[in-house]
Amino acid sequence: MFEKILEYLSPKSVTQQVRALSEQEVQLAAAALLVHVSVVDGDYSEEEQDKLKKILKDRFSLSAKDLSALLASAEKEERDAVDIYGFTSVLARELDQEGRQKIVEMLWQVTFADGIVHEFESNLVWRSAELLGVSTRDRIRIKKKVQAGL
């Protein structure tokens, strides 16, 4: 039993636990931000939901069960949130610039999913990019890249 406790408290174990916790935080923050961009225009369309699920499943290599649990948590977090800072601060802290740009790309993908870019969605991507430290130039470049891929 004592060996189990030492194993649990070993630096390697603690490092692995911290890594796993930060990955869960990133997943939840990204998912909640994507849910927010999906609902900000007042229409949580089927196309946006499908795109959102595909993006999260692919980006985080989630099983159907894990995806469902993540989405349920993200939808709750999004409903309870006062602003997007709580989500973007986690992402800015945990991700490098490339990872932050990937989040902006994911936001644009969900925004374009239903074929209608509402001004609220566009504004949310802009504010998120600013809070993530993604430059205007990169945000527009990413937008054009996503549009070209449609």
For the domain that residue 34 is a member of, what is the CATH number?
A: 1.10.3680.10
Q: 142: domain range? A: 2-148
If pLDDT is split at 50, 70 and 90, which confidence band does 126 have?
very high
Provide the token pair at 7: 């194993």
Label residue 61 left, alpha or beta by phi (over 0 means left) and psi (-120 to 50 means alpha).
left
Give yes or no for residue 110 having a pLDDT over 70: yes
> Tens digit of pLDDT for each residue in 16-41?
544 555 789 999 999 999 999 999 98
Q: DSSP letters along 83-121, please?
A: SSHHHHHHHHHH--HHHHHHHHHHHHHHHHTTS---HHH
Q: Please count the structural domains in the chain.
A: 1
Higher pLDDT residue, 7 or 46? 46
Mean pLDDT, to the nearest integer, of 106-115? 94
If pLDDT is split at 50, 70 and 90, which confidence band does 14 have?
very low
Question: Is the entire prediction scored with pTM above 0.75?
Answer: yes
Q: Calculate the average pLDDT of the chain.
A: 88
